[in-house]
Amino acid sequence: MNQSSSQPPWWQNAIGYQIYPKSFYDSNQDGVGDIQGIIEKIPYIKSLGVNFVWLSPFFASPNVDNGYDVSNYEQIDPQYGKLADVFEMITKFHDKGIKVVFDLVINHTSDQHHWFEEAKKSQNNPYHDFYIWKKPVAGKAPNNWQSLFGGSAWEYNPQTDEYYYHLFAKQQPDLNWENPRVHQAVSEIIDWWASHGVDGFRLDAISHLKKLQTFADVDQPDEAMNDVAGIDDFLQELSDDFKPDHLMTVGEAGGVPVSRAQQWVDEQHGYFNMIFQFDHVSFWEKFTVGQVDVAQLRAALTRWQNGWQITAGTPYSLKIMIFPEPSPTLATILITVKKSAQALGMMYLLMKGTPFVYQGQELGMTNVSFDHIDQFRDLDSKHFYQEKLAAGWPVAKIMTSLRAKSRDNARTPMQWSTSKFAGFSHTQPWIEVNSNYPEINVADQQPSPQSTLNFYRQLIDLRLTDETLLSGQYHLIDTHDHQLYVYTREANNSGYLVVTNLSDQPAEFQVPDQFKLTNLVLSNDPAAALDSLIALKPWAANLYMYMYERKNS
């Protein structure tokens, strides 16, 4: 595992593939994806050219929040297989030169974790202080803090006559990081997985570890738990756990502004190797009415591309695209027409930073379009439905909102083939397959040179093999419009010009005089050519090489 100091760490020139185990591939035909299913598909993952995988949680869990409620960090949920399967999977990925990153959910546990089962028994229990407790105030919750999944963040525990804090569901009590024993217990879990060959962790909800210690009412829910002053001590201690084993870390950093990037991801002293940032996410809300505000998207992503400059690689990652995890709004970025996956993919994969591709993104899998609440599985979506129903919203309006924002939209089974259930399983899956699988699936796209799948393979190959795309400067060409995202990656007065049309309308781009285009490297438009006035079809993605000519020379 040791790497010589002259070698950049492996993750600096790498592309990750996120696997949602429950929906990837079902090897034992029970309708639920599993670890052996992932093992069977390693050759496919290898064929994409990615160098590491990040698996969403598969640990022992009552699955109130699809595994983000862990009841035992060193056991696996039996629906996914056995611990031995996990060890076999790690070995088999390593045999193919693919690193393995797990999801570490340590802001909270399940209420069925034995720590919590002990903690709630009495105030004298040795585990009581593993969680956050407050006495009722006037017979009610101690303050106005809200859960991210709706309603109060406090739940009453009659055994101790106290409330406990839960940022997410009430079955996900938050750990009390003010207690050093919590850190100690988490360190042991990290060491245990490291000793079994894991190469890194994605740290779930990590910007919420610190809570506002006044426990007073807040004006904005974020003030209680987002990057709260004092979190740095916890993060510093935590980051020391990963270093001896050279574990790669990516923090889920919701609410962390670019001005804090240095503390979080500085190459020498940062807490993590990379973070997922979410500045661009709310802009996508407009996607719910069929619009992406491309101007705001450009501004947000550029802020991060420029805000944290380093020359070789970038220690943070921008994560966008089809993504079921952090927030319902992210899932709305889903690709509505197959072609948009290509334009979004080029725009995103060729930026600075370590890119992650979410399973199915490489096919242009789209948001599912469920008609009825019974088709949804996500607790957050179900809460939302009940809450809005109680508030008097018409069902049609709630469903429109869920179709745009539910995390389930991107959790449907991977579309492997045109067989029944998309080749994911022989039996009815835990969540319905998207009905468009006959048009969007791996089997059809494999042999077709024009497919989204093969477009992604080309992008991944380029991104991993080209020095300018790894370490060149990012420069936005501001088109002042609402369709185009155009930027360069440049080193020594030459580089790549990335021209994408992120809209379903045609557009034009006039190449600035200083850029002499020398080569059209990749395009999803067979008619694309080396023109200085570039005509772009809807969702066009063109990649050029250029020489930069100074005007006066």
Rg (CA), the chain: 24
CB 482 within 8 A of CB 467: no
Q: Which is nearer to ligand GLC, 142 or 326 (CB)?
A: 326
From residue 29 to residue 48, the character string flagging contacts with ligand GLC as x (rule: CB under 6 A) and all else as - is --------------------
Q: Which residues carry out catalysis?
A: 204, 252
Phi-psi region of 172 (alpha: psi -120 to 50; beta: other; left: phi over 0): beta
Distance in angstroms (rounded) separating the CA atoms of residues 478 and 486: 7
CB of 162 to ligand GLC, least distance (A): 23
What residues from 159 to 198 belong to the interface with ligand GLC (CB under 6 A)?
Answer: 168
Strand order in the sheet with 99-104: 274-276, 248-252, 200-203, 99-104, 52-55, 16-19, 356-358
**Where in 269-328 is the site for ligand GLC (CB under 6 A)?**
325-326
Position 415, amino acid: Q
Q: Which of 324, 423, 408 is nearest to 44 (CA)?
A: 423
What letter would DSSP give residue 146? B
Q: How far is the CB of 196 from ligand GLC (least distance, A)?
A: 23
Q: Which is nearer to ligand GLC, 20 or 546 (CB)?
A: 20
The kind and range of the H/E element at 379 are helix 379-390
Cα separation, 48 vs 38, in Å, equals: 14
Residues 96-115 touching ligand GLC, rule: CB under 6 A, are 105
The distance of closest approach from Cβ of residue 105 to ligand GLC in the complex, given in angstroms and rounded to an integer, is: 5
Cβ closest to ligand GLC, residue 162 vs residue 325: 325
Using CB under 6 A, pick the residue from 204, 227, 408, 490 that binds ligand GLC: 204
Mind spelling out the 3-state secondary structure of 55-121?
ECCCEECCCCCCCCCCCEEEEECHHHCCHHHHHHHHHHHHHCCCEEEEEECCCECCCCCHHHHHHCC
Q: Among residue numbers 376 through 435, which ones bind ligand GLC (CB under 6 A)?
A: none
Compute the distance between CA of residue 460 and CA of residue 465 in angstroms, rounded to an integer.
Answer: 9
**Stretch 233-272: interaction string toward ligand GLC, x if CB under 6 A:** -------------------x--------------------
For ligand GLC, the closer CB: 271 or 323 = 323
Cβ closest to ligand GLC, residue 112 vs residue 262:
112
Residues 127-156 that bind ligand GLC (CB under 6 A): none
* Min separation Cβ 205 and ligand GLC, Å: 4
Q: What's the N-to-C CA distance of the chain in angstroms?
A: 50
Q: Which helix (H) or strand (E) holds 356?
A: strand 356-358
Site for ligand GLC in 504-533 (CB under 6 A): none
Q: Which residues contact 454 (CB under 8 A, 6 or more apart)?
A: 445, 448
Altogether, the residues listed in the chain come to a count of: 553
Exactly one of 14, 205, 318, 453 binds ligand GLC (CB under 6 A); that residue is: 205
In whole angstroms, the minimum distance from the beta carbon of 380 to ligand GLC comes to 7
Least CB distance to ligand GLC at residue 289 (A): 25
Q: Among residues 54, 68, 283, 487, which is the contact residue for ligand GLC, using CB under 6 A?
A: 68
Going by C-alpha positions, the residue among 251, 163, 262, 162 that lies closest to residue 209 is 251
For ligand GLC, the closer CB: 321 or 534: 321
Beta carbon of residue 284, minimum distance to ligand GLC (angstroms, whole number): 16
Question: Is the distance from CB of 367 to CB of 409 less than 8 angstroms?
Answer: yes
251 vs 472 by CB, closer to ligand GLC: 251
Q: How far is the CB of 430 from ligand GLC (least distance, A)?
A: 16
Least CB distance to ligand GLC at residue 225 (A): 12
User: How many residues of this chain interact with ligand GLC, rule: CB under 6 A?
Assistant: 9
Which residue lies nearer to ligand GLC by CB, 16 or 326? 326
199: left (phi over 0), alpha (psi -120 to 50) or beta: alpha
Are the C-beta atoms of 21 and 35 separated by less than 8 Å?
A: yes
Work out whether 49 is an interface residue with ligand GLC (CB under 6 A).
no
542 in Cβ contact with 485 (< 8 Å):
no
Residue 396 one-letter amino acid: A
Which of 380, 285, 398, 269 is closest to 325 using CA atoms?
380
Q: Binder to ligand GLC among 15, 31, 41, 65 (CB under 6 A)?
A: 65
Cβ proximity to ligand GLC: between 68 and 201 the closer is 68
Rule CB under 6 A: which of 471-490 touch ligand GLC? none
Chain residues that interact with ligand GLC, rule: CB under 6 A: 65, 68, 105, 168, 204-205, 252, 325-326
